[in-house]
A and B are shown apart, each in its own frame.
Chain A
């Protein structure tokens, strides 16, 4: 029963979405099912928040290693939640000036906006910026000319990287018009449009068929492993 009900709900939702794709009159059904998921996901936010507090409060109370990080997490969570929910420092909306909470919580200059602009955004930007260093280290390892395939990869990457810079254009600009296909910027375009697109499409076709097959297995209840094992 514990698995049969979720399976039935999954199958019902999945088949409704498929039918609504082909039968225009049932498009509304598909949208309704999609809204169900949104409702479920919204309720799950509370679950996630509660779990976050539970895990980190336990770490702090047990003085586990790294409890300081948990303390920072809890503080940040509570402060942001409080500032956002109470609309701290937000001016009332001009349409409803008598209602204190009628303003937008994202109002420029408000504490919530400040937290987002001066704490959250710089932190996420920092994490994203680190990607540049990771790309460099991964490229250094991947482009070692160990065998024929690695040499081909290195050569192709070299052309692409060079072709995307001004230096690449400058280096082969002397080639005559009849050999313009060999200019690095044109080679880059050819590699990306022909070889890369061909490889990418092959992967995409495999993915599309994999998605169709997996979806069917899930809808028919053939694959129940995401619910944990196959027995009821």
Chain B
């Protein structure tokens, strides 16, 4: 009987311990990989005990700092402590000197400041090194954001898939007192997926656009007649080259200041191909100064092939296509000087331009050259429009190659581009309608649909 009583007491004691642990309240946090992403997101879900939930005002979300981040924090702390210590020493010694009537330029004082600052630096560094564990503990977690009281989930982004993270959620009441906290049980890493779902709609639009371009190219090759509107700037190319020939002056072609990895430079060189062929036919001198070596090499190939197809390979002079400098204003200085001295009759600016656009176009204008520009830099278009005779605006510039070649497969691609415009127009109409109706009716579902279009479809 006594044994039974002792056993019952022990059982009661241990079960009370277990029971006490079981009712200890925390925020239960679960972390799982976010699906269809690039491996930089983790989904968090949390649950708060019922009795506490009604008192919660906000949740604060934290993630663990990586080793690199903690090292960087320690470094920052050390440099801050060193800076503060040095400033304090300087201030103290200068204050003392002022009180004792010692000049601030006194060599002895300055030497003492130097010595004491060095000592203070060493002391501060040493002190921080001793406190490294304390700093590590303080910065285990990094604050990310605040979530509302009704929220129970959040997606953390900008994570590194090589690092394992812990996540902490803290619940706060109205007064800002911490009610409960919870940390994920297991560290989690984002997983790189086979397809980035956030780019799904962009992928679909890209596929439709590609399909449309290829489809219209095929149609054009089969002989379907295509109507393309006239582009005055491109019609004037032959006139400009002809004018240069009549005046016995050269033609200047500037392919922009970016390298061959920029699509505008490629588009510029496709126009160069046509200009070079026309120049070869007319026996005009074509000069192409470049600001990138690769552009020079490619331009030489382009012009040489054009002279060859014009039946004038002997007229090709590779020295007229030359490298100047990678430096923006050095290049502009050369071109401006060249224009003023040589006075070319026609100037073509086809490619990517920045601040130099107006300097070039105005110099060309001042020497009376016929000028045709083409660029996809919206900020430079007004300058070219103001100073040049013809300007190819954005898409006209990209259409130049197809327009000038007149080949059906190239013209077909322009028609395919129009499908893209239809998609854009439909998207705009849907967006405007949703925004307008949503604003008038105040319907939440319509605003959600608008938000979906803006953030998910358009990314």
Instruction: Tell me the nearest residue of chain B to A55, going by C-beta.
Output: B322
Q: In the complex, which residues of chain B have a beta carbon less than 8 angstroms from the beta carbon of A51?
A: 293, 296, 322-323
| Chain A residues touching B, range | 35 or more
Q: Is the C-beta of A123 less than 8 angstroms from some C-beta in chain B?
A: yes
- Contact between A228 and B417 (Cβ–Cβ < 8 Å)? no
Residue from A130, A204, A220, A226 with most neighbouring chain B CB atoms (10 Å): A226
Mark contacts of B393-405 with chain A using CB atoms, 8 A cut-off: 1 yes-contact digit, 0 otherwise: 1110111011001
The interface residues of chain B lying within 8 Å CB-to-CB of A66 are 341
Docked CA distance A131–B333 (Å): 12
With A51-B322, A210-B398 as contacts: A131 and B304 at CB distance below 8 Å: no
Query: Cβ of A22 < 8 Å from any Cβ of B?
Result: yes
Binary B-proximity of A180-192 (CB < 8 A = 1, otherwise 0):
0000000000000
Partner of A41, one of B213, B259, B358: B259
With A206-B395, A222-B409 in contact, is A213–B273 under 8 Å at CB?
A: no
Asked if A223 contacts B410 (CB within 8 A), the reply is yes
Contact with A along B410-431 (1 / 0, CB 8 A): 1001101100110010000000
Residue pair A226, B269 in contact (C-beta under 8 Å): yes
Choice from A55, A226, A229 contacting B298 with Cβ under 8 Å: A226
CB closest chain-B residue, reference A45:
B293
CA distance A134 to B383 in the complex (A): 10
Q: Is A179 an interface residue (CB 8 A)?
A: no
A229 & B270 in contact (Cβ 8 Å cutoff): no
How many residues of chain B get a CB closer than 8 Å to chain A's CBs?
87
B301 at the interface (CB under 8 A from A): yes
Complex: A188 Cα to B294 Cα, angstroms: 43
CB-CB < 8 A to B327: which residues of A? 120, 124
Q: CB within 8 A of B263: which of A23, A142, A200, A214?
A: A214
Q: Beta-carbon contacts of A188-232 to B below 8 Å, as 1s and 0s?
A: 000000000000100111110111111111101011011111110
Give the distance in Å from the alpha carbon of A37 to the alpha carbon of B265 in the complex. Answer: 15
Contacting residues of chain A (81-106) with chain B, CB-CB under 8 angstroms: none
- A1 contacts the other chain (CB 8 A): no
A173 to B444 CA separation, bound complex (whole angstroms) = 40
Q: Is A5 an interface residue (CB 8 A)?
A: no
User: Would you list 6 pairs from A and B whose C-beta atoms are within 8 A, ordered by A residue?
Assistant: A44-B292, A131-B355, A135-B358, A205-B424, A225-B302, A228-B302
- Further 12 A-B residue pairs, CB within 8 A, beyond A130-B359, A134-B363: A27-B38, A48-B296, A127-B332, A138-B358, A207-B395, A209-B421, A210-B376, A210-B399, A211-B398, A217-B213, A227-B298, A230-B405
Kindly list the 4 A-B residue pairs having the minimum CB-CB distance in the complex, ordered from nearest. A228-B305, A210-B398, A48-B293, A206-B395
